[in-house]
Chain A
Amino acid sequence: MNLNLTEDQQALQDTLRKFAAKEFSFAKRRALAKEGAGEAISATGFSPAAWQQLAEIGVLALPFEEAYGGLGGSALDTMVVMEELGRGLMIEPYLGTVILSGGLIASLGSDSQKETLLASIGSGESLVALAHQEPGKAFDAEVLTTSLNGPGDGLILNGNKAQVLYGAQSHQVLVSVNEANGISLFLIDSKAQGVTWHDQKMPDGTRVARLELNQVSVSEAARVGGKGAAGPALSRAFDVANAALCAEAVGIIVTLIEITSEYLKTRKQFGVTLGTFQALKHRMVDMFVWSETARSATMLATVRVATGTAAEAHWACAAAKVQVGDAARFVGQQAIQLHGGMGVTEEMAVSHYFKRLTCIAALFGDIDHHLGVVSDVLLAA
């Protein structure tokens, strides 16, 4: 048993922390989050320059096998990356492109698909989105409305997808449909005939899109994975994504505690710093205990994703999403509270971190959903 970071992981952490401090400044982040406000959103919503630098550092190719130009990193390396991206409050499309789509292509794709697609994701050339969720359905729904019709080589996609992370900015998109009693994935060009994107902003400024598929023709060659065989890989991808989101949340939570604790040491009322009041000290300690809890939960989920069975990973990711959700809620809300009036303004970083935490807690299943997962295991036992 060993729960310490390796030297390589510490070096990666160090590199990313320095990079994020330089490239993901709050001012830049704030400007990017504001882009396109009040109009049909067209600007990228993230920094292509920062994305290229992440590619140069090797982070975009980190989880992929070396045979496909990757660095062969594990879920634990991803955890290190996500925590740092969380600390830096990055707005880049790492989760959708590298973790979800990259992960699905890596587990389902043919050799040639992996060669071309993983290389282009890893180099930062290509953004690949995942369009699975449908309006009014759960993020992990297995029964889909999007249809696949057509004879022979002339397959036609029709339907609507929702919550596609950085879909409107993507170059290609993985689309899920029901087929042969299961789920199939097709990779289509994001600008293909019949594809319409409705770009939206999440409350934290990150981009998410609605997708309309109207008579979009696809070929058999566009399949990623076997007919109706993508279900287990999708379920796995959401577990991996949730573990990664938890790590991002830990980075944010830790940062909020640093910022708030600093504020309590400098802000004076009644002639003394706020940090001298025991009610506020204990609130900060509660936040700190939650942050350690969130970190433990994230490590448990990540270790299970890396080395556990599918059932163990699924359980631990659900457990982590519950505890990190609790932690995110408490730390996020109290960080705002302890900043007083300043906390509710748009000019303070604390409010931006809080918004991101709030979105993370809702992405890919909220606390109730994941508590239900663990609860159902009890019923089955």
Chain B
Amino acid sequence: MNLDFDESEVAFRAEVREFLDKNLPADIQQKVRSHAEIGKADTVRWQQILNQRGWGASMWPKQAGGTGWNATQRYIFEEECVFAGAPAQLPFGLVMVAPVIMAFGSPEQQRTFLPKILSGEDWWCQGYSEPGSGSDLASLRTRAERDGDHYVVNGQKTWTTLAQHADWIFCLVRTSSDARQQDGISFLLINMHSPGVTVRPIIMMDGGHEINDVFFDNVRVPVGNLVGEENKGWSYAKFLLVHERTGLALVPQGKRLLVELKAIAAEAMKADHRLRDRIARIEIELAVHEMTLLRVVSASGSKRGPGAEAAILKIRGTEIFQTIYETILQVTGGAYVDPAVANRFFNMRKLTIFGGSNEIQKNIIAQMVLGL
């Protein structure tokens, strides 16, 4: 048991660092470091730069155009990107829909969609949640009815992140009401430019426009856009859940933010031992949380089966991240703070809610690990 990276991993880190040094555009880096909004153009530009180097999809296998990296390499890559001030890659295509298309999509779907996800040409969003179906996702009601070579889709999705930029949406839709709720759901790829699709912004409490309602009014979708079999969509969505084990651990992001907090608090900390203890505790929790992530990374190298790791990582990662923002808010002046700082704190409340709320993560652990 050791925490030392071997020679090839050290060399890999140096290679990534050198690449970032030379290729990360200074204007984008500046925006990331100052917490400015990263728009569609910058996200796409960065995806193109990564893709030119062959690093567009760190989690994809080589034959699909990915890097074929192992878990340790991906960990190093993500850490270096975050530390360098690179923007996050859009996860909806790369991390969420692509693995499903690779595992269950037709060869034609793979040829059509994957290259444009890799190149950044297609912007994807996720159509899961509905107004009446949040944590109880299987109760969703957006209907897709077969009409010749098409499905006709009617209904509403909500909380759809960055749908305002999207070319495509992957949706869970109801294709049958006969059986158990979960058994009547299909996984459908819908062109956002189709007639009948309307996007309405939802403004979050920080004033930002990240999320949307998406309405479907008799939207005609070719049957060729159904992934896998009809009424099997729920199992594909669950596959994604198990596939992504380390997604929201927020370890490098937390480490970067802690450096920021320590810099902001440097003077105050000297005189205020209570603040110092708070920051010490965050530092401890983050170091230990990182160790949990490294355990998962290390175990996936040895090909052990997936457990409920992602759920634990999400719970701890999001809690710690929120605590850091809360402490930054406190140190910079509480209620009298710069609204931009307060808004970041407000915005981060989403972390424990999205991606399956932390309470849903607990249900998963109770069932999968404890058998309760």
Within the assembled complex, what's the spacing in Å between the Cα atoms of A319 and B365? 26
Q: Which of B162-170, B173-181, B270-278, B341-349 contacts A (4 or more CB under 8 A)?
A: B270-278
B5 close to chain A: CB less than 8 A: yes
- Does residue B371 face the partner (Cβ distance < 8 Å to A)? yes
Minimum distance in angstroms from B16 CB to a CB of chain A: 16
Bound-complex Cα distance A6 to B1 (A): 8
How many A-B residue pairs lie within 8 Å, measured between CB atoms? 128
B284 touches A374 (CB 8 A): yes
Q: In whole angstroms, how far apart are the Cα atoms of A316 and B285 in the complex? A: 11
Question: For the complex, is B209 an interface residue (Cβ under 8 Å from A)?
Answer: no
User: Which A residues are CB-close (under 8 A) to B366?
Assistant: 281-282, 284-285
Contact B312 A299, beta carbon cutoff 8 Å: no
Any chain B CB within 8 A of the CB of A120? no
> Is A379's CB under 8 angstroms from B291's CB?
no
Q: Known contacts A285-B366, A303-B3: does B316 contact A371 (CB below 8 Å)? A: no
Tell whether, in the assembled complex, residue A375 and residue B277 are in contact, meaning their CB atoms are under 8 Å apart.
yes
Give A323's nearest chain B residue, CB to CB. B288
Which residues of chain B are near A322, meaning CB under 8 Å?
Answer: 281, 284
CA distance A300 to B293 in the complex (A): 12
The reply on A32 being an interface residue by CB < 8 A is no
Near B by CB (< 8 A), chain A positions 236-276 give: 257, 261, 264-265, 275-276
B359 interface contact, C-beta 8 A: yes
- Interface on chain B toward A: helix, strand, loop, or mixed SS? helix
Interface flags, A284-322, vs B, CB<8A=1, else 0: 111011001101110110110011000000001001101
Q: Say whether B353 faces chain A, with CB atoms less than 8 Å apart.
A: no
Interface string of A78-97 (1 = CB under 8 A from B): 00000000000000000000
- Chain A residues with CB below 8 A from B312, complex form: 289, 292
Q: Which residues of B contact A1 (CB under 8 A)?
A: 2-6, 9, 72, 294, 297-298
A264 vs B372: C-alpha distance when bound (angstroms): 8
B101 in contact (CB, < 8 A)? no
**Complex partner residue of A261 from B289, B363, B371, CB under 8 angstroms:** B371
B257-288 residues at the A interface, CB under 8 angstroms:
262, 269-270, 273, 276-277, 279-281, 283-285, 287-288
Interface pair A300/B291, CB less than 8 Å apart? yes
Please report B residues at the A interface, Cβ cutoff 8 Å. Answer: 1-6, 9, 72, 262, 269-270, 273, 276-277, 279-281, 283-285, 287-289, 291-292, 294-295, 297-299, 301-302, 312, 315-316, 359, 362-363, 365-366, 369-372
Q: List 25 A-B contacts (CB under 8 A).
A: A1-B298, A3-B298, A5-B1, A261-B372, A264-B372, A265-B372, A276-B372, A281-B363, A281-B366, A288-B370, A296-B289, A296-B295, A297-B284, A302-B1, A306-B2, A307-B2, A316-B287, A323-B285, A323-B288, A371-B277, A371-B280, A371-B281, A375-B276, A378-B279, A381-B262
Of all A-B residue pairs in the complex, the 3 with the closest CB atoms, nearest first, are A296-B291, A3-B298, A375-B280
